[in-house]
Structure 1
Amino acid sequence: MRATDGVERLDTAPKLTPLLLGGALRAPRKRGPFEAARLPARRLELGGARAGSAALRRYAEVCGFPAGAEVLPPTYPHLLGFPLQMRLMSAADFPFPLPGLVHTGIEVHQHARLTAGDALDVAAWAEGPEPHRRGSVFTMATEARRGGEVVWESRSRYLCRHRTAAAGERGEREPDEELPVRAEWRLGGDLGRRYGAASGDRNPIHLSAPTAKLFGFPRAIAHGMWSFARCLAGSEVQQAWARGEAGEHLDAGAEFKAPVLLPTTVRFAEREAGTNTAALTLRGAEDGRLHLSGSVSSARPSPAPPGPSN
């Protein structure tokens, strides 16, 4: 590791399991007050990150992307940057305790199609925090560069729940709109373990009912990033983009509304909201509970200028 002017350059990607354990051990010392918390002004960088072929196959299989596809799924670069995020969030100088943080949403902006063979320089840093009626919200930002050019970036939002002056206030509830159902998926109890093996994210709340109960969940819950990736894999807009039927740019985002308790059955819905733009939802098949609300958009390539007349 090399540090210069607030930038730490890593030689290898950090291992997630030791970071999870370290973050859990440091958590009791992080007691606030969280309202005055300041995030470390540090940027982590890792050069030459790649999607390994075996890892990519496992990821595509568990998330529903085509096996053997040349184009990298738009959510896969998150896996390359997540160890850097975890290194920051589990560090002693990060003010919020790692256990109990809630991943509330993500935005992804992809500026070029990527392939499994691309070498990406990945960076991550923290932004915020901002007050929230249930605590404090901060953002983990990630970007990937290819040949010095930013080709992918994301903003993940996390909530640290704690007492606030506005704890009793309620925000305005957004309209809960039903979209046309496109697919129904049966999720097994082992989904969290399968996604954890593919992504490296083996947070105990996803692995089994006994470990999830330690954190207040009755059963294991699906990863939010699995829900996001699975919805994008099922999206007609994303599929057309991956086939090269739209421009290079892809925007996608999701808000994680409620945990998906495993095992269960969910319904994926998508509705066109403009040219190459769609709204997405993921709901419980039996109770209709909204688990994810999101969107995806890509731009068609500009038409070629007319050729010279004869």
Structure 2
Amino acid sequence: MSEVTFRELRNPPPMVINFAKAVLRATVKPGKSPTLPDVGLRLNDVALDEKHLAAYRKVCGFAADGKLPVTYPHMHAFPLHMALILTDGFPFPAMGLVHVRNSITQYRPISEKEQLNVKCYLGNLNKVDKGYEFSIFTSISTGGERVWESESVNFFRTGGGSGSKKKDAPTPEPAKNTVEWKVPGDTGRRYGAVSGDRNPIHLYPLSAKLFGFKRQIAHGMWSKARCLAELQNQLPETAYTVDVQFKLPMFIPATVKFENTEVKGGSDFRLLAKDGIKPHLAGQIRPVES
């Protein structure tokens, strides 16, 4: 990939316009040898919106403590992510993408009062079984200091592939020592109102059925945020990375079970269906090696 050319923005791209463009680009095809545009976006001096932060904390379960929730900077990055995948020359339709993995590294707690500089760009396009994966990278700084970064890995299905199934995979043991949550059916609409991600698959049963789902599903980044809200008082004050792998969709309303296990150097957590077996999300928290 060539050197990225960044474009400075004065304001976040309006999500209404982003989704309108997504509809217009719904028929985009990747072709035989897709490539990613060598472009990036910058948005500087992003200040706190207290009402927005309060709404985010409420829907995700974070307590107010004077610091930004570790997943909150993604709210500033997501409109830029959308604008990047709607750039001329981007090879995939936005509506056909699935968020499969997300990694966040926070180098230190971020105060609510700090102004943030946000930088996003594309990379790591790879052909995988049944489609393509690519990454959207985000780096956030304040006062010239890098404080937060992430990698969001997305998948576009083209079909084909080996089609092999893991018939001999052992049945996982039910989780133990879990915390049970009730996830209301309006969670997708509430999180969508805060994040701007009003993808129809998250909103109503009818709109989700138009895209092949039996009813609406929870946002992956809401699931990650809700897990980290449960662990808020246990998260490190020093630099750490939290990786998650999104598994089966969570149809809402739902009853789910959260499990956290301390391991050497960090912790592993899972978000499971009511049966304590079917996985919605798996995550790992690890310190950043100095």
TM-score of the pair, normalised by structure 1? 0.87
Does the 8 A contact of 1:133 with 1:170 survive in 2?
no
Letter in 2 for 1:295: Q
Please report how far the alpha carbon of residue 177 of structure 1 lies from its aligned counterpart in structure 2 after TM superposition: 5.8
Is 2:46 the partner of 1:49? yes
Is 2:175 the partner of 1:184? no
The CA distance in 1 between the partners of 2:76 and 2:98, in whole Å, is: 20
Q: Gaps spanning 5+ residues in structure 1: where? A: 303-310
> Among the aligned pairs, what percent are the same residue?
36
Is 2:267 the partner of 1:268? no
Is 2:59 the partner of 1:65? no
> What is the aligned partner in structure 2 of residue 18 from structure 1?
17
The CA distance in 2 between the partners of 1:50 and 1:175, in whole Å, is: 48
User: Any idea what SS the aligned residue of 2:138 has?
Assistant: strand
Shift in CA distance, 85/202, structure 1 to aligned 2, threshold 3 Å = same
Shift in CA distance, 158/175, structure 1 to aligned 2, threshold 3 Å = farther
- Which one of 160, 163, 187 corresponds to residue 168 of structure 1? 163
TM-score of the pair, normalised by structure 2? 0.92
Is 2:138 the partner of 1:138? no
- Which one of 25, 29, 32 corresponds to residue 30 of structure 2? 32
Shift in CA distance, 7/187, structure 1 to aligned 2, threshold 3 Å = same
The CA distance in 2 between the partners of 1:42 and 1:124, in whole Å, is: 9
Please report how far the alpha carbon of residue 148 of structure 1 lies from its aligned counterpart in structure 2 after TM superposition: 1.2
Q: Gaps spanning 5+ residues in structure 2: where? A: none
| 1:1-310 pair list within 5 angstroms | 6-28=5-27, 30-33=28-31, 35-66=32-63, 68-164=64-160, 166-170=161-165, 176=172, 178-235=174-231, 238-241=232-235, 246-275=236-265, 277-286=266-275, 288-298=277-287
Please report how far the alpha carbon of residue 296 of structure 1 lies from its aligned counterpart in structure 2 after TM superposition: 1.5
The CA distance in 2 between the partners of 1:10 and 1:254, in whole Å, is: 30
Q: Residue deviations 1:262-299, cap 9 Å, x none?
A: 11100000000124x11010011147311001111347
Q: What stretches of structure 1 move > 3 A for 4+ residues in a row?
A: 169-182
Equivalent residues, number? 287
Letter in 1 for 2:24: L
